[in-house]
Amino acid sequence: MSADHRSPSIQQSQIDEILGGRRMRRNRRADWSRRLVRETVLSVDDLIWPIFLIEGSGIRQPVPSMPGVERLSVDEAVRDAVKAEALGIPVLALFPYTDDALRDATGSEALNSDNLVCRACREIKKLGLNIGLMTDVALDPYTSHGHDGLLSGDKILNDETVAQLCRQALTQVDAGADIIGPSDMMDGRVGAIRMALDDAGMRDAQIMSYSAKYASAFYGPFRDAIGTNATLIGDKRTYQMDSANTDEALREAELDIAEGADMIMVKPGLPYLDIVWRLKDTFRMPTYAYQVSGEFAMIEAASANGWIDGERAMLESLMAFKRAGADGILTYFAPRIADLLARAK
């Protein structure tokens, strides 16, 4: 090929001069070396596995918009809890698909000490596994309108909702929940729940606050899974955060920490890694991210079409959370990641 302007004849000595001995690729040349310089480690200890519950027994009902995810009857949830412990996953997060007949305007089923979540907590706790149970504090799985709080007309009532959430939290801890996860975004709920728990002598119950929870399009498949997509009236923008805001996330987290949160969380995950980073950097709290249903569905859908390598995308996405400073991730990939990590050993 003749030398022309597209292939200038640069000399080796010139390249050496430019690099001055600094070659970034040296450390990347072999697997052992890449491992040696790796900054971030993903471990099974970083995983929280969200599971969905449904009435019945022996039921594993697929959620179409979340390939590989199923709604589980309590007995099946117990089996998955055993599996989670065997895999080394530290925490399960429980979400119920409530029978339509049990949903009402005030979400009263949330206070039923025999509801799905409470029964699952009790059954799993009976086994004495080395695993934590996290329960969601919010009314949406139980309300006929699909909102996280009590409604008056089209307004969500903050303080009345908080009172209800305190009772919900007590009911869950009484059934065996270890970590209370308020996902409702009402003002003052962390402090109120802490106070209610302490008054009831439940001083050891932890609170992982959904501190920065955004009004997001990425919750769609989750709402299929718990059956609120069809019923939700309007949207959640008067309580969940505006995706344009980041300073506001700092204020939310600051309040939650002052009110007694033990751990804070950002949700959704990947589109909000800047928030994860800012919260971790600012508060140095145990900080978590929720890789939500829509994020999971996107990876699964692209993978099913052969457009991306699903397994690699899954691992890369989880590594990104760790790199951004997350101490752990709620992810529907949890059992698959745990399995992969175990086999890689």
Interaction site with ligand PBG (CB under 6 A): 136, 138, 140, 148, 183, 219, 222-223, 236, 292-293
Choice between 81 and 292, CB closer to ligand PBG: 292
- Compute the distance between CA of residue 252 and CA of residue 212 in angstroms, rounded to an integer: 6
Contact 298, 309 (CB under 8 A): no
Are 24 and 315 in contact by the 8 Å Cβ rule? The answer is no
Q: How far is the CB of 246 from ligand PBG (least distance, A)?
A: 19
Residues 6+ apart with CB under 8 A from 17: none
8: preceding bond cis by omega (within 30 degrees): no
Least CB distance to ligand PBG at residue 167 (A): 16
Among residues 48 and 197, whose Cβ is nearest to ligand PBG?
48
Candidate list 83, 125, 126, 213, residue with the active-site label: 213
Tell me phi and psi for residue 287, to 5 degrees: -125, 130
CB 294 within 8 A of CB 221: yes
- Among candidate residues 236, 267, 280, 322, the one labeled active-site is 267
Nearer to ligand PBG, 68 or 342 (CB): 68
Q: Strand ranges (DSSP E) for 158-258? A: 179-182, 206-213
Quote the least distance from Cβ 223 to ligand PBG, whole Å. 6
Q: How far is the CB of 238 from ligand PBG (least distance, A)?
A: 13
* Nearer to ligand PBG (CB atom), residue 136 or residue 178: 136
Residue with the shortest CB distance to ligand PBG? 222
Q: Structure tokens of 66?
A: 């979340």
User: Between the CA of residue 73 and those of 49, 65, 84, 109, 247, what are the distances in Å?
Assistant: 16, 19, 16, 17, 41
Query: Catalytic annotation on 345?
Result: no
CB of 290 to ligand PBG, least distance (A): 6
Q: Catalytic: 213?
A: yes
Name which of 19 and 333 has its Cβ closer to ligand PBG: 333
Burial 144-178, CB ≥16 within 10 A → b, else e: ebbbbbbbeeeebebeebbebbbebbbbbbebbbb
Residues that are catalytic: 213, 267
